[in-house]
Structure 1
Amino acid sequence: MTELTHTVRGVDHAAFPTYDPKATIHFYRDVLGFPVVHATCALGWGPEAHPDFIHFFFDIGQGDRLAFFYYFGVEKYEDTRLPELLKRARHLAIHVDTEEDLLEYRRRLDASDHPCELQVRHETVESIYVTDPNGYLIEVTRPLRAITVEDDIDANLSADALIAVADDPEPSLQRFFEIKAELIASRYAGEPAEGTFV
């Protein structure tokens, strides 16, 4: 597969609705220490029935921002059809550099009304998790080691195996591992399967 180039330089902002701007500002600005750096106040926008709103932004470092929309007069809405597991799968992970940084954010959270819910070491990162006042899962993560070329190769083999297993009549993690093993064997036999990462 031909590698595609891109000119994206990172995240400008990720945006979410909030029904409690007071709690949201307190949590991100006063607990986590992310300064408010921009706000757009608008009398409606787009369609005729669009409510008035304030769109406000927090600086989360490196020019990236986390933003919220507060719509005046809009009642809180929750999609009860979505299982809790899938709600928590949608989350924002914020990067810090050191263990000391991570522990400082844990200290701030534990001293607030939103204590850290989980601290876990993954394969290449250590993370803490908290649910913000809006019910969004937020992760603060630090690297445990540098990402290598081998990690990139493994990730691409995993992506190719996932694409293949998704078409299986009964996709499973076991079948994923079998396909990935075949891709690895093919790679090291010098005969990559057509359309796969080399």
Structure 2
Amino acid sequence: MPQDELPRPVHRVRGVDHAAFPTFDPGATVRFYRDVLKFPVVHSICAAGWGPERHPDFIHFFFDIGNDDRLAFFYYFGWTPAGDQSAPGDAWARLPHDTPDFFKNSRHIALNVADEEDLMEYRRRLDESDWPVEMQVMHETIESIYTHDPNGYMLEITRQLRPVTPQEDLDAQLTIDALCDVTAGDAPSMDALLTRKAELIVERAEAWAATQPGWHPSQRELV
């Protein structure tokens, strides 16, 4: 039987696409994973005005940890859990009982499947079970279905819509550098991040232009 006619296996997951967590300190998170462990930033999502009521603007950013796996974090502007979050390894345990669902669900695992057929097969299985799909979302580069497992953990199953481009990787690096800058200040916000990101684009474009043959400072306004 030709390879493309073989029946698909019952188990169709190809591994972990990403594991995701909230971050209370994006600057330290970036320093730890990018600068110390050397995991490059490969993708980011700037989400403004997204989601239901009580859902703040947020940044969702991803580190490449090898083998097409990613480690992801959420940073929510203007939302900090009550209590002292300074002690390492302790912040999650001290979340108040009225912590919004969006923050609880930010800690989840995403499993990867090959294509739409596999994704819809898992949707069928879940919808016929005690744990039906709660939402199906078309993101920028992936399509995902979501449910909660019997323990209350959010589970995402996802397929890639298209590869992430080098330009998007560069945009992610600019976004995360801007995020680190604005969260080091007193009033981080999505507007402040986008303003700082624009400044970084201009600064880095000028620095790049200055390395090009024939460039002269009088050309700065054209960059």
TM superposition score normalised by structure 2: 0.50
CA distance in 2, matches of 1:130, 1:145: 23
1:189 equivalent among 176, 187, 206 = 206
Q: Which residue of 1 aligns with 2:188?
A: 171
Cα deviation, residue 91, structure 1: 0.7
Q: Which residue of 1 aligns with 2:142?
A: 125
1:56-87 Cα offsets, whole Å, 9 max, x none, are xxxxxxxxxxxxxxxxxxxxxx9726432211
Q: Which residue of 2 aligns with 1:153?
A: 170
Distance 1:5 1:84, change over 3 A: closer
Q: How many positions carry a matched residue from both structures?
A: 126
Q: Which residue of 2 aligns with 1:86?
A: 103
1:126-151 Cα offsets, whole Å, 9 max, x none, are 11100111100011111111112112
Higher RCO (C-alpha under 8 Å, 6+ residues apart): 2
CA distance in 2, matches of 1:155, 1:97: 25
Report the 3-state secondary structure (helix = DSSP H, G, I; strand = E; otherwise coil) of the residue aligned with 1:112.
coil
Equivalent AA in structure 2 for residue 157 of structure 1: L
CA distance in 2, matches of 1:84, 1:127: 18
Runs of 4+ displaced beyond 4 Å = 1-6, 8-12
Distance 1:151 1:103, change over 3 A: same
TM superposition score normalised by structure 1: 0.56
Question: Residues 1-198 of structure 1 correspond to what in structure 2 (within 5 A)?
Answer: 9=66, 80=97, 82-190=99-207
Distance 1:139 1:172, change over 3 A: same
Cα deviation, residue 101, structure 1: 1.1
Report the 3-state secondary structure (helix = DSSP H, G, I; strand = E; otherwise coil) of the residue aligned with 1:139.
strand
Distance 1:156 1:185, change over 3 A: same
Cα deviation, residue 5, structure 1: 5.2
Equivalent AA in structure 1 for residue 130 of structure 2: D
Equivalent AA in structure 2 for residue 130 of structure 1: T
Distance 1:140 1:2, change over 3 A: closer
Structure 2: unaligned runs, 5 residues or longer? 1-33, 40-64, 70-94, 210-223
Equivalent AA in structure 2 for residue 114 of structure 1: W
Identical aligned residues as a percent:
47
RMSD: 2.9
